[in-house]
Structure 1
Amino acid sequence: MASSKELQKAAFHDPKAVAQYPDSPRRAVPGFADMQRMVTLLLTERVGNSGRILVVGAGGGLELKVFADAKPSWTFDGVDPSPAMLELSRQILGPHLSRVALHEGKIDVAPEGPFDAATCLLTMHFADLDERKQMLTAIRGRLKPNAPFITLQLSFPQADGEREQWLARYTAYVVSSGVDPQKASQASEAIDSHLTILDPQQDESLLREAGFSDVSLFYAGLAFRGWVSYA
C-alpha cells in the first residue's frame, strides 16, 4: 500500500499529473474560483493595497495568480516541496513572477517574515496530525500580530458511517464534473487510505491550539472546509 508521501509523489512529481493539475481543483472543489475570490477579499480586509503574503502549498500557482491579478502591490513568498509544481507556478504566474519568491521545501524553508498574511489551501490534509500542528505553529510564528491566516482542506465528520458518506459525496461530485467514474473511485480510495482528514471541530481546535484567534468558517463545499483566523 502506498504511503501519503508516495501518493504526493505520484500526484505532484509525475510530469503528466503535473501538466493536468490546473484543471484538477476546479473539478474536485465546489465553487473553486469563487472560493479563491473569497480568500482574496478576506485577506484584503487586513492587508490593504500593499503587503507581503506567505503562501504554503504554492505549487501550481493557481491562488498566487489570483492574488497577484487582484493586488498589483502585493508581494509573495510561496513554499512547496515539489520542483515540478514550482515550475508550473512559474509558467502560470508569467509577468507576476517578479513579485514572487518561490521556495522548494516545506514551511521550515519559508523566510521568517513577519508576513502580513498567510494561506494554506488544499494542502493540510497531506500532513499527518503531528506535522499539521508543527505547520500551524510555524506559520503563526511568521505572521505579524492580528495578521489573517486562511486554511482550506478536506474536512468532514469522522463518526461511523459519516466518513463513508462524505467520501461518497466527494466521489459523486467529481464524477458530475466529468471525471471518469473509475478514476474518481480510485481517487476516493486513495484519499480514504492515505490522507489525514479531521472532523471540522478538530481542525478548528488545532488552529486555536497554535495560537490563532477569532477562528471562523468562511467556506463549506461538500467535503471541503475553509477557515479564516488571526495571529
Structure 2
Amino acid sequence: MDAFSNPQAVARYVEGPPRLVPGFSDLQRMIALLLAERAPDNSRVLVLGAGGGLEIKAFSEAQPGWRFDGVDPSAEMLNLARATLGPLADRTRLHHGLIDSAPEGPFDAGTCILTLHFVEREERLRTLNEVRRRLKPGAPFAVAHFSFPQAADDRELWLARYAAFAIASGIDPAQAENARTMIAERLPILSPEEDEQLLRDAGFSGVSLFYVGMAFRGWVAYA
C-alpha cells in the first residue's frame, strides 16, 4: 500500500498496531509461545511482512537463541525495522521483496502478522504454499490479520467495530473513519472459514484458531 512507501507514515507505524489491534502485545507473546512449543532454542524463524520490526523485537527478547529472516516489500519499512531492532538486529537478516525473496530455509518456524489481508486470494494461496515449502516438516506457522464474515451487513458491522475500537484507543474519529473507508475499499479481506481453508489448501495441518480481537483473528498451523 502507498502508506508503506511514505516516509512520514512509516515513521508513525510503530504507534499504530498497539492502538488498533486489540491485545497486540499479548498477540505477539502468544505467537512466541506457540512457536516455542515445537521450535528449538536455536531456531531459524521466517517472518513474512517484517517491516517495522515489532514482532521480531518481541520474539528476539523472548527467545535469545532464535535467529530471523524478515521479508517485506517496503524498503522504508525495512529501514524502520532496523531502527526498531537496534542492537537486536545482529540476529536478523532482512530481505526486500515478497515471499520469493525469502531464503529457501528450511526454517524451524514462521509467522505472518497483519500482512495477508493486503494480499489477493490467489496470491495469498501461492504465498502460503511458498511459506510451507520453506518450513521443516511439522514446523509451526502463525498468522494474524483482518478476518470476519463477508456478507454485506456483517462486513459493515465489523468495520464499524474496528473504527469504534480505534476511537476508544485515542485515534481521531475522522482518521478512524478514513481508515475504515480505505479498508473497505482496498483490502481483500476473507471470512474466517476462507482463511482456514486456504491454510489447508496450502498443505498446512492442525489449523487452530488461537486469537480473536474484534475484526482480527489468528491461527497456528503446521507444515
Please indicate the TM-score interval, normalised by the length of the shorter structure: over 0.9
Unpaired runs of at least 5, structure 1: 1-7
Which residue identity is paired with 1:185?
A: E
Aligned length: 223
Which residue identity is paired with 1:150?
A: A
Residue deviations 1:188-217, cap 9 Å, x none? Answer: 000000001111000000000000000000
The one of 28, 34, 57 equivalent to 2:20 is: 28
The one of 128, 131, 141 equivalent to 1:139 is: 131
Unpaired runs of at least 5, structure 2: none
Which residue identity is paired with 1:142?
A: R
Please, what TM-score do these two structures have when normalized by structure 1? 0.96
The one of 71, 93, 99 equivalent to 2:85 is: 93
Q: Determine whether 1:71 maps to 2:60.
A: no
Match of 1:84 in 2: 76
The one of 148, 154, 168 equivalent to 1:156 is: 148
Q: Determine whether 1:59 maps to 2:59.
A: no
The one of 30, 34, 44 equivalent to 1:38 is: 30
> What secondary structure, in the 3-state scheme, does the structure 1 residue paired with 2:12 have?
helix
Q: Work out the percentage of aligned pairs sharing the same amino acid.
A: 58
> What secondary structure, in the 3-state scheme, does the structure 2 residue paired with 1:47 have?
coil
The alpha carbon displacement at 1:160 in A equals 3.0
Residue deviations 1:169-203, cap 9 Å, x none? Answer: 00000000101101100000000000011110000
> What secondary structure, in the 3-state scheme, does the structure 2 residue paired with 1:161 have?
helix
Conserved 8 A contact 2:40-2:108: no
Which residue identity is paired with 2:85?
A: L
| Structure-1 separation of matches of 2:145 and 2:36 | 21
Which residue identity is paired with 2:87?
A: P
CA-based RMSD: 0.6
Q: Determine whether 1:12 maps to 2:4.
A: yes
